[in-house]
Amino acid sequence: MSRMYIQMLSMFMFVSFLIGFATIAEAQNRLFFPNRIRNKTIIPSQPPKTVTMNEDAVKLKVLLDIYQTEAFELFKQSTYAEWDAMTTGKEETFKNSADAKLKWAEYHSDKEKYATIKDLRSKAVGLSEIDVRAAERMELLYAQNQLPPELLKKMLDMSSEIEKTFQNQRPKLDGQEYTNNDLLEMLEKEIDLVKRRKIWEALKQVGDEVDDQVIALAKVRNNAARQLGFKNYWEMQVVFQDYKPDELLAIFDELEKITAPIFAEMKKELDTELAAKFNIPADQLMPWHYDNPFFQQAPPSKEIDPNSFYKNKTKEEIIAIAVKYYKHLGLPYEEVLKRSDMFEREGKNQHAFSIDMDTLGDVRNLCNVKPTAEWMDTVLHEGGHGVYSLNCNRNLPFNLRDSAHIFTTEGIAMMFGTKARTPQWMIRFAGMNPQTVNSAAEALRKQRRREQLIFCRWTIVMLNFEKALYENPDADLKTLWWEMVTKYQLLKRPEGRNTGDWASKPHFVIAPVYYHNYMLGELFAAQLRQSLGKAFVNDDPKIGKILTEKVFAPGAKYDWPQFVKQATGQPLSPKAFSNELSQNH
């Protein structure tokens, strides 16, 4: 997705150590208790009959109440330290952030307490459904952190060092330093082919700086995973995110088959346009001709440049448009903005994310807003994360004041982000000229379909490459990367190029084994759009209330399959997404 928010973790910036705070505990049942079936947490629509708690349930309830208080305090220490690091870039703030993450991990590494929780949960009778669910999630976090403290610290220290490089590195072009934003703008406008290549290569420079470090980190992560009984870190992360690896891969295999022919058809058309634009044969097109350094976003078509609609806006107006829209839906984005950091500044993180600081209302966005369609999308996207967090039921226990799953908050964010390129929305909320926008409506629809296809194929690259990375960190990753880019994105590897291009994607460090959640978020968003129907298309104010009641407020009290079915009326599948691609053709 050529959306800036995907270049940085859009949810919790500490997800790389808190391996699955937004995951569901049923995965643990399959992993740690394969020989017996434990009660699955289903919150019934009608309250069950009251059952008196047995002694084990009483003990577990006491332990759980203590946990909610202690974990809550550690959580806040971590998020506030992370925010300081991301907004200042100072050495001491990164150290403080790493220390806070380590404290969280060490707290959940207590083997004796973990054994007690497992034992009590296996025998407890009479707990409320909410407490049963909270206890499941508590146990899962302990399960994920049963590693030696020195190994936990090593992983966190290594991650922190690489994160620092990503945050503070500024690409050099002809001896001059630029921000990523600067170079992306230059790449979009530059016609000279030699200069375009140099800009593209500058955007990849960080890869050569960190690739060896990322490989070393992958090996340490694999070691940690094996100590917990997994084959490698990829498998561990997927299971702790409550997926069955085979089922996850099956979804992406289906997506690959569905999109392969229509992506090839679309790209052939796109290549014809780009060849004409740069006055070269289509078979000579190279990665730097596609604007985005990873081809995760569609270049502006010959018919329409979405940025043209926003170029005369100020960066402040971009934010004001988002506030206006969310206010129309009854979703208080202005509350998120009170403590947010929205504009570029030296030392600040260059990308975008949303973070819930305390699960009680201090929700923040970090952005680097520019007057472009991409940043309009990004602000709406991060705003979606923000209002999701803000509207979670705060009466839930601390560890249930969270999204139902990682991909559900991503789906909400993506669903709102697409509005930036929707004609009716652009006229109504961004104040665009109706005649100008309506005349471009078909081109915008076509561009939207391109975005969906291009992003889908990009996520397939990320899923398969990251799986291969952890299966064999000593493989020729530079070659493997380009083999997958060629296979799934139909891009050519520059002749003689043998650099760490793959490692220039910060997700391998900051949000490891995470990218599939973006695509599953797209599937969830497609199902939500289908269930909301014309209300979403027409920006009916009632969708704010519907989403609050069905999606935001429940938090994490349901397992994700049950949640998705309740929220959209059907299990998660590629069907609605595939239907959208067909309808938009």
Dist CA 245 CA 248 (whole Å): 5
CA dihedral (383, 513, 218, 484) positive or negative: negative
Dist CA 384 CA 182 (whole Å): 26
CA 278 to chain centre: 34
Q: Going residue by residue through the chain (585 aa), what tens digit of pLDDT does each one get?
A: 333 333 333 333 333 333 333 332 323 332 232 222 233 333 443 445 567 999 999 999 999 999 999 999 999 999 999 999 999 989 999 999 989 998 998 899 999 999 999 999 999 999 999 999 999 999 999 998 888 888 888 998 899 888 888 888 888 999 899 988 899 889 988 999 999 999 999 999 988 989 999 999 999 999 999 999 999 999 999 999 989 999 999 999 999 999 999 999 999 999 999 999 999 999 999 999 998 999 998 887 778 888 899 999 999 999 999 999 999 999 999 999 999 999 998 889 888 999 999 999 999 999 999 999 999 999 999 999 999 999 999 999 999 999 999 999 999 999 999 999 999 999 999 999 999 999 999 999 999 999 999 999 999 999 999 999 999 999 999 999 999 999 999 999 999 999 999 999 988 888 899 999 999 999 999 999 999 999 999 999 999 999 999 999 999 999 999 999 999 999 999 999 999 998 766
CB within 8 Å of 473: residues ≥ 6 apart:
215, 218, 219, 222
Q: Cα–Cα–Cα angle for 111, 115, 116, nearest 5°? A: 120
- Span 160-304+444-510 CATH architecture: Orthogonal Bundle (1.10)
Whose structure tokens read 């997800």?
A: 15
**What are 262's two structure tokens?**
């229509």
φ/ψ of 417, rounded to 5, equals -60, -35
Angle between helices 111-123 and 129-144 (to 10 degrees): 150
Is the CB of residue 124 less than 8 Å from the CB of residue 50? no
Dist CA 481 CA 217 (whole Å): 18
Segments of the chain assigned to CATH 1.10.1370.10: 160-304+444-510
φ/ψ of 145, rounded to 5, equals -115, 20
